[in-house]
Amino acid sequence: MSSSPRYSERKVINLAKEHIKRLEPCVHGGDVWDAASRFGLSQKDILDFSSNVNPLGPSPKAIEALKEGLWRIPFYPDPKYTSLRKALAEYHGVETENIIVGNGSTELIYLFCEVFLGNSEEVLIPIPTFGEYEVATQRAGGKAIFLKMSPDFTVNTPELIESVGAKSKLIFLCNPNNPTGNLTFKDKLTEVLDYAASRNLLVVVDEDFIEFTSQPRRYSLTDIVQRFPNLFILRSLTKFFGLAGLRLGYGVGGRGIINLLLKAKAPWNVNCLAEVSAIAALKDLDFAKKTRHLIQEERAFLFEELSRIKGLRVFRSEANFILIDIRGTGLTGAELKERLLRLGVLIRDCSSFRGLDEHYIRVSVRTRAENMKLLEAIKKIVSG
């Protein structure tokens, strides 16, 4: 009997697609597991300012719905997610056919690129912004074209429009933008959409953090998806609604886009507990109001107090996080992150964001007591 041929690891790797072999994974905040392991801490002992989730956690009604839904575990989820899509459609005033759900909005970023991008087709991405747009583009075989934002991190819409080329297929916009917190108003986005429609371009607007703004319904584009068949809006239930560990996001778009995405998505991509928790969370308007009030109050407090610390340049934000240039302290983001971790505080070193250098950090907005601990820790390191 002949033995199996022995293949080297390199030969196996060579079987993969060339563009996949060149991929680099995106860096994210919120890795309390690695931080705890490195410093011998418990995850519960780390104050996490690196991930931008609701500091109050999920709605109590969502937790209760999860507990009451445990009986669903032996059954497959509804493959059409009818109840969840209906709840999301009612929340936005659209039809169920305008909604697709995903295992976090990141899954839908990858799905969208897989469905619509061809080899070497170009994707316009203003930077700095969320890194998964670039990785998803590359994984689909597309080519990312980066446009540097203005010095105040606003999107220059005329420059964006002028950058559209013969191979352009898709534009990614994040609103409010991560990691800068800037908000682009609807009239500017509509200009881009009008031009994109005239050139047969697709536009993805990531509104994952829009619920943290003062008037999310005013700034969101979900009310004009019927007007722009080329528009796809990303939303998240992991950030504002605090369901990060359950992994749940969704997209809002015209029926044409949604039908294509539904054909290509993996079956049962959202678990049953995420579904029932999300439906309950959407209905808890009092908790949403409480969250929005907390974020607005604490964002203003944190901005003012951080601005008082010598060596920090703090950027205004409309989201639940704040970008800071710390070069005046003589430290890099990695150095400050390391020193803060020794005090049990985790921040986001922004050096991995294309368009930023090693002197930027991002901190999330949390409760007053937690924000005070962050400020005390930064002051202790900077003054020391």
Query: What local confidence, expressed as pLDDT, does residue 28 receive?
Result: 67
The one-character DSSP state at 244 is G
Structural contact between residues 137 and 123, judged by C-beta atoms closer than 8 angstroms: yes
The mean pLDDT value for 289-306 works out to 98
27, pLDDT greater than 90: no
Q: Which two tokens stand for residue 63?
A: 């937790």
The mean pLDDT value for 130-142 works out to 95
- Topology of the domain covering 12-56+286-383: Aspartate Aminotransferase, domain 1 (3.90.1150)
The one-character DSSP state at 325 is E
Residues 6+ apart with CB under 8 A from 72: 272, 273, 276
Q: How many CB atoms lie within 10 A of CB 346?
A: 25
Mean pLDDT of the chain: 92
325, pLDDT greater than 50: yes
**Rounded-to-integer distance, Cα 14 and Cα 47, Å:** 43
Query: So where are the chain's domains?
Result: 12-56+286-383, 60-284
**Rounded-to-integer distance, Cα 301 and Cα 293, Å:** 12
**At 162, which helix (H) or strand (E)?**
helix 157-162
Beta strands 360-364 and 348-349, pairing class: antiparallel
In three-state secondary structure terms, 209 is: coil
Query: What local confidence, expressed as pLDDT, does residue 33 receive?
Result: 62
Percent of the chain residues past pLDDT 90, beyond the cut: 86
pTM of the predicted protein model: 0.92
Is the bond leading into 55 cis (omega within 30 degrees of zero)?
Answer: no
Residue 173 forms beta bridges with which residues? 205
Query: What local confidence, expressed as pLDDT, does residue 19 receive?
Result: 77
1, pLDDT greater than 50: no
The CATH code of the domain at 60-284 is: 3.40.640.10
